[in-house]
Amino acid sequence: MATTNHLVSLALLLLLALFGASVRRAGATTFEVGGEHGWAVPPAKDAGVYNDWASKNRFLVGDSVHFKYAKDSVMVVTEDDYNKCKAEHPIFFSNNGDTEVGLDRQGLFYFISGVAGHCERGQRMVIKVIGHDAPPPASPPPPPSNAPPTPPHPSGAASALGAGGLAVAAMLLPVFVYGRLRPTSTAPAAAASAPLSSSSSSSLSPEQRRRADTNLALARARRHLRLAESKASGGAAKLEELLVEETWMEALPGELRKPYALELCRFVAHERLHSPVPVYPPPHLVFHALHATPFDRVKAVIIGQDPYHGPGQAMGLSFSVPEGIKIPSSLANIFKELQKDLGCTVPSHGNLERWAVQGVLMLNTVLTVREHQANSHAKKGWEQFTDAVIKTISLKKSGIVFILWGNSAQAKTRLIDETKHHILKSAHPSGLSANRGFFGCSHANANANAHGLAMQRCSVMEASTIARA
C-alpha cells in the first residue's frame, strides 16, 4: 500500500499529468472584433475592414479576441483554408453568438465565418501575434489576388481586462501555472457553446481536439460566471438562483429547496445585510467551483475547508486566490512540493481556475465566511450541501480521484464509494502541518508508473508562451 508521502506525490502528479494550465498575463487585452457592429459581413466598400483593423492593433501572446454575432459562426482555420474561404475540418468552430479565442502562441491566426458566402464577402481576418518584447507587428499579409479581401468591423476597439479575463484554449501540458476566468461583459449569459461536430473534429490531432475541448469549457464557464453575476446584481438573490450550471442543477434536483438549504439561505442573506464585517466570497462566486467545473466534466476533486477570510482572497475555489493577491501558505507549499519533486516553475500568482475548467472540482466544505473569522459560517448548513455534492459524484460517476488533504477533508471518506473511486490522503499543506507528511515526497515518477498514470514532462514555460484563461 502506498505511503502517505507517496500519495501526496501521486496527487500532485495527477494534477500535473491530467490538467495543464496557463499563465494569465497581467494586463492582457481582449479585443472586441468589429466593435459595436460585431462579427458580420462587412459592407461591400469595406470588404477588407477586418484585416485593416487587425493591422492597426498590437496582439501579444496571452491576449484574446472576442466575437459577438447573430446567425453566424467563427472558425479558426489553416492558411490554405483561409485562402480558399472554406474549411471542412476547422481547428476551432463556434456558433454560439459569443465566442472568445485566446491567442496562445506567436504567429498568424486565421479566422473566417463558417456561413457559406460570408468569407468571400470579406468576413475573415488574419491576426499576427507577437511576443511581449517584439517590435510592433507588421500588417497581415494581403489576400491572394484571386481571393476576396479579408476582414474586422470598424470601431473594433480593444478593451483592457486587467488581471481578469477568460482566455480560450491552452494545450494540456503539465505546466503548473494558471489563468483566470472573467466575464467579457456584464450582460446576461449568451447561449451555450456549441459542441464540435463529428465532421469537424474527426480529423483533428489529439492536441487540436484538446484545445477545442478546452475552448468550449472556457466559454461555458464564462457564460456561467456572467449569468451568476447578473443574478447577484439584482440584490439578495436566493442561493438556488445563484446556482446556474445546468448539469449540477440536474444532478442535485431540489437540493437547495430543502428545509436546511432554505434556512441556510436566510442565514447567509442576514449575514450579508447585518454582519459588522464583510462576508466572502461575493454572491456570484459562492458556487464558482460548480460553475467552473460542471458535473459532466468532473475528473478529480480537491476538498478544502471554508473560504479564505482575508479581503480579496476568496474566489469560490478551494486553495485558490485571485491574481494580485498574496499566495497563502497552503498554496505556496503545494507549489514548493511540485517544484521540489518535479522541477516545476513556481507561478507568480495563485489563481487555480485553469485547473477547474479542465475537470478539477476545487470544493470547500463551507462556501461562505465572515472577514477574518475562520469557520464563522460552519455548521450552518453548508456541510450538508457539499456532502450532497460529494455523495452525488460518488454515486453517479466512477473513477474520480478524490484528493483529501488534512483531517477535515479526510472525514469525507465516508461519503465516497472506494470500490469505484480513488482516494488520496495526506497531511494538510498549511504552514502548521505541511511538515507532518505533506512535504518530503520525491518519487513522483515511480508512483506514476506504479499506479498506471501517464507521466509527461513538466515543462517550464513563461507567461508569454501560454494562452491566458
Edge-first strand order for the sheet with 59-60 is: 59-60, 124-130, 107-112, 74-77, 92-94
Residues 367, 437, 324, 359, CA torsion sign: negative
Q: Is the peptide bond before 281 cis (omega within 30 degrees of 0)?
A: yes
Q: Which of 359, 351, 356 is nearest to 323 (CA)?
A: 351
Catalytic positions, please? 306
Q: Which residue has the cell 473534429?
A: 201
Q: Nearest Cα to 279, choosing from 248, 254, 311?
A: 311
d(CA 290, CA 354): 14
**Rounded distance, CA 167 to CA 391, Å?**
32
Q: Is the peptide bond before 429 cis (omega within 30 degrees of 0)?
A: no
Q: How far apart are CA 435 and CA 415, in angstroms?
A: 28
Q: Compute the distance between CA of residue 71 and CA of residue 90 in angstroms, rounded to an integer.
A: 18
Cα–Cα distance measured from residue 114 to residue 74, given in angstroms and rounded to the nearest whole number: 6
DSSP 138-149: PPPPPPPTTS--
- Which residues neighbour 199 within 8 Å (Cβ) at sequence distance 6 or greater? 88, 89
What span, in angstroms and rounded, lies between the C-alpha atoms of 9 and 99? 38
How many CA atoms are closer than 13 Å to the CA of 40, on its beta-carbon side? 13
- For residue 315, which of 355, 347, 352 has the smallest C-alpha distance? 352
> Any idea what the Cα angle at residue 324 is, between residues 244 and 309, rounded to 5°?
65
Residue whose C-alpha is closest to residue 110's, from 72, 66, 142, 78: 78
Question: How many CA within 13 A on the CB side of residue 41?
Answer: 12
Set of cell numbers at residue 335:
507549489
What residue has cell string 479565442? 101
Contact in structure between 229 and 286 (CB atoms under 8 Å): no
Say how far apart CA 259 and CA 272 lie, in whole Å. 20
